[in-house]
Amino acid sequence: MCPTPDRAPNKLSSFSRINVVPAPCAASKHSLDTIKSAAYRFLMKTIDYIYRFDPHNPSVKPPPEDVEVARRNLENGNKLFSEWMQSCRTGTFSQGEPRYVVQCNGLEVGMVRTHGELPRQAAFAVVVGCSDARVPMEMLFGQGFNDLFVIRVAGNVLADECWGSIDYALTALADSIKVVVVLGHSGCGAVTAAVDAYLKPLKYSSAKTSFMLRSILHRLFVPVHQAANGLLAEWGPDAPLMPGYRDALIESAVCLNAALAAYSLHLEVERGWRTEVQVLYGVYNLFTHQVSMPPLGNRKEEPKVNLAYAPTHPRELDVLAIEMATRLRPAEMGLPPVSPPSP
């Protein structure tokens, strides 16, 4: 294997560095010059995503002052992350000082204060997401230490423990929390299992499906049913027989699952008179690494990073089901696209 060259340390700041380097080649048939050339190319193709603490400016990242600033911070952070991931895919490299830098407030990264007290927890967002290892919450939102209060569970379902964690965050961190975010993601394994159980109920009722797994799938059946109703309404009664139906049902159900959870959280936040907190939701795309709502589906549009505000009425969930069915409609159906609903 070709040796991987070391990078010189950056002496201007303290940070955690994540490097992406192409896989080493097989060296058995290469000359020494070829190996040196390959090592040089490996060195030049390192792309940095950095968590930086500047000791000369430890409070460089102020907390967001309101909901809109918090939302913008999350969206801008995701743009940063998706650009880094795109540069890794395409081989377009940053020049000079690395571009992809997440600033961290040094007073809140876990350092003990002057008088020995622990740093105060001061997250500005609660994020309810999936346990999927491909969906790293802080990284994909471009946030650092003490920025997010993250709750992860398969299928981002709102089980009792999740509700308890959310209530704790909204109560104990009331001074800093500005938004609650529900984040689904494409290719969700839990939603896929729920869709397959919906399509093949005999398999779901088998004793091979554990009680613990059923407890998750059961909570996902409502968005799956709603997604199926949207596809039937837009694709027609033969929708289940059409190519791509299962994939479309999974993608639509992922969106509706996040929307339904956001709607439930919106009701709970309103019930608690927490008018200063807003609920947002979106779907993380594993291919583009962007968070958006609604996803593009089969639309030929420019990708756009955005978090949507939670539905405030069940009728909006029905509208979203139709919108997703339209976006996922097979091209061979030859029906004209419709305009997306207003955010």
Which parts of 45-184 fold into alpha helices (H)? 67-90, 137-140, 160-172
Euclidean distance between CA atoms 141 and 171, whole angstroms = 23
pLDDT above 70 for 342: no
Q: Is 154 helix (H, G, I), strand (E, B) or coil?
A: helix
- In a domain, residue 81? The reply is no
Per residue in 243-258, pLDDT (tens digit) is 999 999 999 999 999 9
Whether 80 maps to a domain, the answer reads: no
Residue 291 lies in a domain: yes
Helix (H) or strand (E) holding 103: strand 100-103
Measured at the CA of 73, the angle between CA 21 and CA 300, to 5 degrees, comes to 70
Q: List the domain range (segments joined by +) for residue 247.
A: 122-333
**Which residue in 191, 83, 224 sits closest to 142, CA to CA?**
83
The CA-based dihedral angle spanning residues 75, 80, 82, 86, taken in that order and rounded to the nearest 10 degrees = 160
pLDDT at 301: 66
pLDDT tens-digit map of 258-279: 999 999 999 999 988 788 899 9
Which CATH number belongs to the domain containing residue 178 in this structure?
3.40.1050.10
Which residues have C-beta within 8 Å of that of residue 160, sequence separation ≥ 6?
A: none
Over residues 318-326, mean pLDDT = 96
Query: Is 174 a domain residue?
Result: yes
316 belongs to a structural domain: yes
Q: DSSP of 306-318, one letter per residue?
A: --EEPPSSHHHHH
Percentage of residues of the chain with pLDDT beyond 90: 53
Answer whether residue 9 is part of any domain: no
Rounded CA-CA distance 256/161 in Å is 21
Across the chain, mean pLDDT equals 81
Quick check: is 208 in a domain? yes
Domain count, the chain: 1
Beta carbons of 309 and 341 less than 8 angstroms apart: no
Q: For 19-32, what is each residue's pLDDT tens digit?
A: 444 444 444 445 66
Please give the model's pTM, rounded to 2 decimal places: 0.80
Residue 295 lies in a domain: yes
- Degrees to nearest 5, angle at CA 226 with 221 and 231: 125
Between 36 and 105, whose confidence is greater?
A: 105
**114 CB contacts (<8 Å, ≥6 apart)?**
none
**Which residue has better confidence, 111 or 80?**
80
| pLDDT at residue 1, as a whole number | 41
Q: What is the pLDDT of residue 26?
A: 46
Cis ω on the peptide bond leading into residue 294 (within 30° of 0)? yes
The residues near 73 (Cβ < 8 Å, ≥ 6 apart) are 64, 124, 143
Instruction: Tell me how far CA of residue 153 lies from CA of 97, 221, 293, in angstroms.
Output: 37, 16, 21
Do residues 282 and 309 touch, judged by C-beta distance below 8 A? Answer: no
How many angstroms separate the CA atoms of 70 and 148, rounded? 11
